[in-house]
Structure 1
């Protein structure tokens, strides 16, 4: 009998628990450790910010579904992963032993790296449901006396889709409230160009997103390094291609949502051989840590090198489809290992993204996610908004039921069929 512990119950952790439970032997134990007793559908947080969703709409209690699938749920914050002892120490001093550990913690949000950044400072966030609900309260107050809005992603960020979504969704909501004419909007990003997305673009995302922003009268600053956020002002350095300073902007703002840089959570930081200097988990092609092969890493918490040199640091996103492929590879590899076999499965790292703009949106397919690609497609239209709403309902329904499915793969196949995208 093997005890398999999954650390984290976000997108990767929940799917991993379900798929591992299904793949391994009945006599093996599967345990999930999570700081909260709920799952949150983070892609819906931009809708929460503008009041289109409530907390209850996108949060799922995990106790019932986990119990139904024969998975033990331990609610508590991990203080330290102890590979030598093969245990996870919790904040209350409890140690949870494991034979195999799957780290799916997601990131720690590095708001502290920039003065005044984050919900405790002068900008909002959509990275957590608590942040999004706070941002909604701030947004409602803002709408009573509107002014300049800044949305974007700071240096070192590795997630750009939600920034574009939040920008466009806010713009759509302001038009609905008939106060758009009173709100200058600026998109500030570390990306070298609009639509880069940390992926050097996908299909024609550069033109699609630039066109959308021009149509909506949104200005932008790329190659941007945020220096600080203060009450009413954000100070930003705009860099040239050679990294020299082109211009320093003191941008007025009355409301702002900026995505921070990510780093590994405290429980894995500084563990030699397990994580890199930034705290991200080191993994091989089978999602295993080279030094501690009984430990696997999946999702946003793993280390992936950047696409290439850019004037301002730009990270690589770990999209839902990519995470799902890591989950499946990990579950199948664990099934082989507990049966005494060598692991053979590798993640495909393809990408499908639906970026909702509130009334329409942009979708893209990248196979693989990191270029060069076999499929490099993007498209836009009102159907993207409809698809995102449908996907939210579908995904949350599956989490509530405790069922394991290749959610993103099914969505990708639907896109390919509907839009006749050539797949490899």
Structure 2
């Protein structure tokens, strides 16, 4: 009997647990270790921050859910991964051994890299449901005494969709409250242009997002490096494309949400051959670490090099569709390995993003994620908001019921059908 240990209980970790359980059958043991006692549907966190959702609406208790689906659960953080000993030391004092380790921890949020950034500083966060819940009273206080907003993503960030989403969702909520006219809004991003997304743009994301921000009277600063954040003021250096200084901005704000850069969790830092200097797990095309072949990894915690050199560092996102394909490859490769075969399965590394704007939204599909692409498509409309709501419902159902249905893949196929229908209508 093989011991399969999964670190992390997010979208990648739970999907891995269910797919590995199904692929390997009952004779092998699958255990999930998570520092959080709950699964959170992270894409819904922007709604939580503006009180459109409550914490309990988008979370699932893991201690009661996973055992029902023949997956063991341990509520603890990983303190140190020790691949030479095939073990992981946990925060509860226990040391877990494994035959195969699947790392799906997600990132550590590097708020400390910029003075004043984050919930312990002067900005809010939607990266975690607890952070989004903490932002709720701050948002209500702001709406009672509105002023300027600064929103966006700092240098080194690798997830830009939620920044655009939250800017538009705040705009929508303020308009509903009849307060929008009192709130100047500035979008600050490390991206070289609006809609770059760490992907060099997808379809017409540049045009779509610039148009959306003009329509909503949101000014923007790109190639932006956040220098420091004080109470009610953000200092931002704007660079030219060649990296030279263009302008230094001092932006006042009454409310701010800035996405941080990511790095690997402390338990992975400094393990030679396992992670890069930033702490992200190195994997081959089979999602397997080349140095330690009994370790696999998927999701935001894996190492992917930046798409291109930019004036300000910009990371590469790992979207849900991409994560699901990584997880499926891991499950099937483990099945082959345990049958004394060589692994053959590879993740597709395609990207899909449903960016909800509160009353509409933008969707993009990139196959593969990095150009040149076979599919390079983006679209917008009110239907995107409804699709995001439906997807939230379906994925939470997946977690509760223990299914392995690939919801992101289904969504992609539906998007492409819509695209083909639109092309026929235009022809």
TM-score by length of structure 2 reads 0.98
Question: Is residue 317 of structure 1 aligned with residue 305 of structure 2?
Answer: no
1:2-59 per-residue CA deviation (whole Å, 9 max, x = no partner) reads 1000000101000000000000142111010001221000100000111100001001
Q: Which residue is 1:208 aligned to? A: 208
1:300 alignment partner, SS class: coil
Q: What secondary structure does 1:219 align onto?
A: strand
Find the counterpart in structure 1 of residue 144 from structure 2.
144
How far does residue 412 in structure 1 lie from its aligned partner after superposition?
A: 1.0
Structure 1 partner of 2:117: 117
The CA RMSD over aligned residues, in Å, is 1.1
What's the counterpart of residue 241 of structure 1? 241
Contact 1:80 1:266 in 2 (8 A): yes
Structure 1 residues 421 and 374, CA gap change in structure 2 (3 angstroms): farther
SS of match in other structure, 1:353: strand
SS of the residue aligned with 1:127? coil
Tell me the alpha carbon deviations over residues 308-360 of structure 1, each in whole angstroms, 9 at most, x when there is no partner.
10000000000000001100000000011111111000000111111000000
Matched, 1:327 2:327: yes
| Runs (5+) with no aligned partner, structure 2 | none
**Equivalent residue number for residue 301 of structure 2:** 301
Which residue in 2 is equivalent to 1:274?
Answer: 274
Shift of 1:93: 2.3
Contact 1:416 1:422 in 2 (8 A): no
The 5 A counterparts of 1:7-406 are 7-406=7-406
Q: Secondary structure at the match of 1:387?
A: helix
1:418 and 1:204 mapped to 2: Cα distance? 16
- Quote the offset at 1:418 in angstroms: 2.7
Aligned-partner SS, 2:170: helix
Q: C-alpha distance in 2, partners of 1:63/1:80? A: 23
Alpha-carbon separation, structure 1, partners of 2:369 and 2:360: 23
Following TM superposition, by how much is the alpha carbon of 1:421 offset from its aligned partner in structure 2, in angstroms? 7.1
Counterpart-to-counterpart distance in 1, 2:330 and 2:257: 34
Paired with 2:258 and 2:272, the residues of 1 have a C-alpha distance of 31
- Post-superposition shift, 1:422? 10
**Cα shift at 1:214:** 0.3
SS in 1 for 2:196: coil
User: Is 1:281–1:302's contact at 8 Å kept on the other side of the alignment?
Assistant: yes
Looking at structure 2, the residues matched to 199 and 416 of structure 1 have their Cα atoms a distance apart, in angstroms, of: 19
Could you tell me whether the CA contact under 8 Å between 1:25 and 1:335 is conserved in 2?
no
Large movers: runs of 4+ above 6 Å: none
CA distance in 2, matches of 1:195, 1:113: 24
> Can you list the C-alpha shifts for 1:99-133, whole angstroms capped at 9, x where unaligned?
00000000000000000000000000000011001
- Given that 1:286 and 1:346 are in contact with CA atoms closer than 8 Å, whether structure 2 keeps it comes out as yes
Q: How does the TM-score come out when normalised to structure 1? A: 0.99
Check the 8 A contact 1:375/1:422 in 2, yes or no. Answer: no
In 2: Cα distance, 1:180 partner to 1:404 partner: 43
Question: Secondary structure of the residue that 1:314 maps to in structure 2?
Answer: coil
Q: For 1:408 and 1:420, locate their aligned partners in 2 and report how far apart those are by CA, in whole Å.
A: 19
Aligned residues: 423
Q: What whole-Å deviation, never above 9, does each CA across 1:51-87 have from its counterpart, x for those lacking one?
A: 1000010010122331122110011011000001101
Equivalent position SS for 1:346: coil
- Alpha-carbon deviation of 1:402? 1.2
Counterparts of 1:375 and 1:399, CA distance in 2: 29
